[in-house]
Structure 1
Amino acid sequence: MKKSQLAHASLAALGTMAAGVVHAQTNVTLYGVIDGSIEYVNRVGTAPANLATTGTATAPVGKRFDMPRAGGLSASRWGLRGTEDLGQGWSALFNLESGFDWDSGNLTTAPLFNRAAIVGLGNKDHGRLTFGRQYTSMTDALIVFAPLRFAASYEPGVWWLGLNYRQSNMAKYRGKFGGVQVGAHYSFGTASSLQAAGTGQPLGPGEAPGNIKDNSAWGAAVSYEGGGFAVGVGYDQWNPAPAATPGNTGRERKTGVAASYTTGRLKISGGYRYRDSQFSNDATLIRDDFWFAGVNYDVTAALGVQLGYYYSNIKQYRPTPAGVATNPANPQQVSLVLDYSLSKRTDVYLASSYVHNGSLINDGPFTGYLFNYPQAPGQKNMVGVTTGVRHIF
């Protein structure tokens, strides 16, 4: 064979092999959830225009019958994720995820990839290191214990884990070693107008030159699962700073613990979260304890029942740095979900919830009124019922 022929044959063989390797070692997945429901809510008010300084809704609008943009069981979303095998147990990974309002098609919040924008490296034996917008370590450890599986409606998940349960500009490590998972993260700047809701002060941009602590955040968590038993514990700290006076940081600290036990079709779970949030002048914004308990039971292979109870002990609340501290009534909530699977990807559901001394899912300044359940003046109880369909792709 001539040298030129041999060279062409070798190059063709190498090209074929390379193409096969790339095809075998790289994957990209398009995924998402669309969850739509119709809801009835009684005694609902109107959210105030200024969320940062006003904690009281306006006069009640009475009963509401509509399509909630958040969906019933899951927030609607779509995303792309992928990995590339780098050899010797290493891989590159990415994840881009965007939330949207199912009823209108609008983005839930700006920017485009508001839920996740991650790139990183992972090793099957040593864990993974990721960078970008992602969940906090405390969220990773505790979210699996939510009685309603962190349902979009009727579970106080944002009150529990905070508006900053996702953070931008984050470096995070996660590792799994047998039944133990560990994680830690640091955010160089978590600032956003949404996260400013309830803090009484506007936030400056993240990663402020000369003031490295401004709007930074960090946390760590550890969890264990084995023999039907699971437990998780986490810590999260966020240091909000106003734009007008950089270098004057507030502080929000949260510590949480949760556990569950699963036997057959039954799962029992419960947990506790401590929060101490302070303004930059060291005055207490809010100090509260949050407790929850839940029961999940699969009646049949298709029908599941989820029951959750939530109690908030609000010991102190001050809406502004110079405001007077108050001791509001303590909200209590009971939520029930009946979920029937039509297939592995599609289910229909009926969910209901009752709350005393508050609004559904504690919606208010500390959740940015994201769920449109503001407590009207003089209101003590609220009831919500929603039914819908969810499809996972």
Structure 2
Amino acid sequence: MKLKHKYSIKYSIKVAIRLITQSRIATFINCYLRLPQNYSFFIFGTHGVGFHSLLYYISLCKTKHNQNIYPMPLHILSKTFDLFGHFTSLRFYKVMHPIIARNKIEKWGMTFDGGMPRDERWIKINLTKKVPAIILVRDPILALTTTINYEIFCNIHSKLSVNYDQIYMYIFKHIKSTCGFKQNMQHMDDKISKYCFIDCSSLIGEKTYPTMKKLANFLDLSVSFHECFMHSINSTIQRYFASPIIYQQQELYLSSFPYFFRIMCYPYYFCPNYCDNLGYTHRQEYISDIFPKETFFLFSKEEILMTPVLQKIIENYLNDYKVIMEEYNRLKIDLPMLLELIQKHDHINYIQTFLKEETSIIPEEILATWKAYSEFSRIVG
């Protein structure tokens, strides 16, 4: 046992040395490897505000030369998911820069997610010019509810038990990721030429196209109506569909979305999903007896014949989703349940104070529409 413990300590020391060394190297590279400075705009958003949808919709806008826009995928500059020492600058050059260079994209944007820790020195070194900024926001109480429900869905999908207190405390610990509207923009004041705040409720259904025309005008772009504007990008069903269907040694993707779009979830956080062609060019409609009112789309890299075997695989796949959703609808929380959790953990005053500061940058005309937040602010802790 002593020998085993000795080797365990040595291994831990080696891991620590490696991580410290890589971290120092990464810090050096991030400070001195400048990102390209031909970015055209910034996009700020947080968890639970429909960020995936906005990024996809912006990719449908066009320049004056009829070229698509490329908004940076989420997490490229995040330190959270890099197992090799937080090499964020190198990740940018590996994942995004080849697309910009290969397609000669003339307008692309920096994406800043609320859950992404940033170093003030790194930001100031790498970003040198002022550009317009789009800030996507949402009623923070609704955003918190959505974020907790997302974790509940993930637990059910992963066949884990749902512990409300545990999930709530995890979200509370990372509340800046969901409600840190002001903090998400820290260190960036001198990099922004003008602001455009968008409430995520204006990116739903028929409201989407008028909102996108407003954003296109803000960024000096053009946009035409696209059927994608009428579909949900980041729904629970799309999250489930992020897992492929394996058939004849191929990865097939089912979607409720009529164009191929692999929602970014782990381990696909850095996949270029917007303007890059991932090769899934074959699409066929699929109707299931399990969801008779839904039209699904099956995407593949090669043309696939719908055989009884494949149909059975798809039906089993959808039935698993049905079971998950039945459990999710039973266990997901609503606003009264969120309030119960906040009160149970005695966080009313803390969250009220935190949100008052974080929403101080939100225009009054947007704040006035946030009914859930307004009611929460009046609760006596």
Q: Please report the TM-score for the alignment, with normalisation by the length of structure 1.
A: 0.28
- Structure having the larger proportion of residues in strand: 1
Q: Please report the TM-score for the alignment, with normalisation by the length of structure 2.
A: 0.29
